Chain A
Amino acid sequence: MSVLALAPIGAPTSALSVLWLIPALPLAGAAINLLAGKRLGRLAGSLATALVASAFILSIVVVRDLVAVDAGSRLYVRHLFEWIHVGAFSVGADLRLDTLSAVMILVVTGIGSLIHLYAIGYMHGDPRYGRFFAYLNLFVFFMLLLVLGQNLLLLYVGWEGVGLCSYLLIGFWFDKTENANAAKKAFVTTRIGDTAMLIGLALLVVRFGTLDFTAIFGSAGGTLTKGAATTIALLLFAGAVGKSAQVPLHVWLPDAMAGPTPVSALIHAATMVTAGVYLVLRMHVIFESSGVALTVVAITGLVTMLFAGTCAFGQDDIKRVLAYSTVSQLGYMFMAAGMRAYSIALFMLVAHAFYKALMFLGAGSVMHGMHEETDMKRMGGLIRRMPVSGITFIIGALALSGIFPLSGFFAKDQILEVANSTGRPWMYVLGTAGALLSALYMGRLVFLTFFGRPRSEQAERARESSPVMTVPLVVLAIGAAVAGLLDTSTNGLISRLVEPVLGAVPEGAAGIAKPVLVAISLTAAVVGLFVTWVVYASGTIDWLALRVRMQPAQRVLEHGWYVDNYYSALLVTPGKAVAAWSAYVFDTRVLDGVVDGIGAAIRALARSGRRVQTGLVRTYALAFLAGAICLLVYAGFRL
């Protein structure tokens, strides 16, 4: 286990010692905007953006210092203060910077500051402008805490914190009931996973007596039985399933699109939903001690990837396509993690953060130009009206579909390569099917939105968004295009960087030769895009008529295989019935009955007891005498 070799860097060099400032800056921004956001007016957004951007610059400086030392000692742990101390169990507020968290903080602050910048334009004129940026900054703080925490409890604080911010931001326009409901659904659904995760943490405390990463990694191999490791790993994974919207807890993410688009880009595509992947990567030692848990992770990822891919193909709402696509891509990451290709999962996370944030922001720009229209059936031909949004979006879509040499190609190709060498051919075949699916839904999205004839008045009159929104698009598009260079092979930059923390990608059995693999996945992507071009943009096929003919299938996909309906029939409706029964029957009859009964009994007792009090002095005197006589008789017998 290479993790053991890591020892904290001895002398805290200048830049590393200000690590705490990275989460502190967004927290300060949140506090200022929460308290004085109204008074700051237009400044609120600039302030929030500037703070996150400075956190990004600081991250670069800190990470540069981290990688300056040799690979074996790239770990910096900073003890801020003692947080909890109960008996032998203690939790410190400690920050941990290793290469894994370094990559994460760069993604969070880097993508985060671009999205903040974009939000200045997107949220312009919103009555609760300052509040929005306060929440966004608070989110960045919690996300940084999540990835920088040196123990699982700190990670859990960040975990719940980002969940809270997600709730607040999905329901940001809470005056619409469906937004408030979507926020509630997201919160409750992820809570299911979080509860399991908390139980997992408790088991870890029982087993190790600590939640400190260094201590757990140091002794995990020896002290854990296989069964215990499996239990803990699966409980932690349940948390990841909830947070990263994997089957069967994926239902909240498509609805979460009710939030403002920058929120969807930052929280529900680039960062928060990847926290589950981060958790699996961080705790991979436990998952590996179990073995079975890794298979569960891989298969959950695979199933989610295929399932969400089909759903994405059936959506008409541009943001819901992207939401299901995110679920599907997260499935890829878990698939990679489940095959022990941790560094590839991380690389996919980074690449995905670029192109998915880009596409969400692009979709937001399109919605802005279309007067908040999200239905792709009413779009079309937008590339002429909105060239910057269109071209950057297409770059993102091509990257996601896996077109060479954009970032998605390298990520997806490496995952498929590993799948090919696992000795489970069906995993490779299904993974390639997923790649084809992603090309199909991306092609459909792009051709429906940007090509063909404009299908509504808004589409004809759409206007390009302001530079404050398009500049982040361009930057992200460049990122999405070239991020592939970060890890062109399993021996690439990111893989080498995180190898001391996550280990090397295992060499598997030799499968199909690599050039053939590349050819197959490229063919899948091109075929997918070509088919959608023929159907939706070539003009040779009347896709609206086709859609009517295929309506039953289209309906099933649009409703996400009716999973929501099953849940509501199997869980929500019975749950509500139980709640109603306990509120109106059990509570009123049984609980209130017991309480009222006790009261009534005491009153009856009191009513008979008060007869003793006659109010007649002579009765009292008689009782007095009787008592005295009793005492005398008693005393007489004692003698």
Chain B
Amino acid sequence: MSTPVAYFLLLSSILFAIGTIGVLVRKNALIIFMSVELQLNAVNLSLVAFSRMHNSLDGQVLAFFSMVVAAAEVVVGLAIIVSVYRRIRSVNVDDAEALRG
């Protein structure tokens, strides 16, 4: 008998929580970015786990889909970070505050 789904979901939750905390507490844009990736992959893990549980490929397809989107998002996100760095000479998100009301 294989590993119960609950374990995967537990791991997924832990990874997602770590990612969330990372996004919220870190100041370095690159680290925040990595944390976002962690969240995405935590969700991918849960998708694949559910896919196995239901014996259907839908979850896996969706996981692939989200990977592709994540790859595209990385491209755009990194480009933004680079151009923000060129402008304010910092990757600290607290320094990018031009939109403060």
Binding site for B on A (CB under 8 A): 609-618, 621-622, 625
Contacts and interface: CB of A to CB of B under 8 A. Distances in A.
A129 to B, nearest CB: 68
Nearest to A613: B101
Given A625-B20, A625-B24, A618 B101 contact: no
Interface stretch (B6-14, B59-67, B92-100): B92-100
B28 to A, nearest CB: 11
Interface of B: 20, 23-25, 27, 32, 93-94, 96-101
B20 A613 contact: no
Contacts of A609: 101
B24 A615 contact: no
Given A625-B20, A625-B24, A618 B93 contact: yes
A146 to B, nearest CB: 66
B77 to A, nearest CB: 12
8 tightest A-B CB contacts, nearest first: A615-B100, A610-B101, A613-B101, A615-B97, A617-B93, A615-B99, A621-B23, A621-B24
17 contacts: A609-B101, A612-B101, A613-B99, A614-B100, A615-B97, A615-B98, A615-B99, A615-B101, A616-B100, A617-B93, A617-B94, A617-B96, A618-B23, A618-B25, A618-B27, A618-B93, A621-B23
Contacts of B100: 613-616
Contacts of A621: 23-24, 32
A614 B94 CA distance: 10
Contact of A616 (B20, B25, B94): B94
A613 B101 CA distance: 5
Contacts of A613: 99-101
Nearest to A612: B101
Nearest to B27: A618
Of the candidates B20, B25, B27, B101, the one having the most CB atoms from chain A within 10 angstroms of its own CB is: B101
Given A616-B93, A617-B96, A622 B101 contact: no
B35 to A, nearest CB: 10
B85 to A, nearest CB: 14
Given A613-B101, A616-B100, A617-B93, 17 more contacts: A613-B99, A613-B100, A614-B100, A614-B101, A615-B96, A615-B97, A615-B98, A615-B100, A616-B94, A617-B94, A617-B96, A618-B25, A618-B27, A618-B93, A618-B94, A622-B24, A625-B24
Nearest to B26: A618
B80 to A, nearest CB: 11
A609 B100 CA distance: 12
Nearest to B92: A617
Contacts of A616: 93-94, 97, 100
Contact of B24 (A611, A612, A618): A618
Contacts of B23: 618, 621
